[in-house]
Amino acid sequence: MKLEGISGKTVVITGAAGGIGSEIVESFINHGAKVVAVDRQEEALQRLKQGRSHVYPFCIDISDAKAVEGLVDTVETSIGSIDILVNVAGILHVAPVDALTKEVWDQTFAVNSTGLFLVSQSVSKRMKVRKQGSIVTVSSNAGRMPRMSMAAYAASKAAATMFTKCLGLELASYHIRCNIVSPGSTETDMLRKLWTDDNGAEQSINGTPEAYRVGIPLRKLGQAKDVANVVLFVASDNAGQMTMEDVCVDGGATLGV
């Protein structure tokens, strides 16, 4: 199926240097978009650029309101009107609630929730004037299912999901669509850091009964490309009647809940 409304568009992608983010960057490039790649990892951003004229790297902290506004203003005036925003940036700290520090809690929400708010607010203001646009938030299936030792991450992702739905409701009359893509266990560095031995992948697939975590019914880990494919679709004009939807890409791990 040919995806409409991607080629020639200006796309801003936060968290662009991560495992899922970089795959989303590649997907949009391959469909002819101009990609503004935003991340804090400068070296990784430069690798994404690799001399390609349609990739514009920006190394900023999305929890910094002034930096975000400066970024969006620069893109709008120097690169092009932002047609699509993909919020991918996220961090994960694993610890039981009684071991969570306020610093970790604040840091998690600063990136996963506040950063999302700042970028979405700044971009959507411009989109409203033009009465068109598409915003996609990459959240997590942890935002809809309790996870032991992941309270900060899960809560911040639940906030990200509901914020995007509320934003979508407010922007619907401006013909701006806002959707969520929620991955489950996806084979990236973030997931690998959770593994304690060489059986990490198998444990993720089988589940952890003592932690009340079911396995993956499809019996395989997700790949970054699986997520990127769905993001690309919901961002495109092919999904023109979709807004405020949360599409879960987790091999059935949340049992469709």
Q: Which residues are catalytic?
A: 153
Handedness of CA 141, 147, 149, 154 (dihedral sign): positive
Question: Hey, which residues does 183 pair with through a beta bridge?
Answer: 249
Distance CA 6, CA 234 (A): 11
Distance CA 35, CA 38 (A): 9
Q: CB–CB of 41/17 below 8 Å? A: yes
User: Based on the number of CB atoms within 10 Å of its own CB, is 9 exposed (0-12), middle (13-18) or buried (19 or more)?
Assistant: buried
Question: Hey, which residues does 59 pair with through a beta bridge?
Answer: 39
Which strands sit side by side in the sheet containing 246-249, from one edge to the other? 55-59, 34-39, 10-14, 84-87, 133-138, 176-183, 246-249
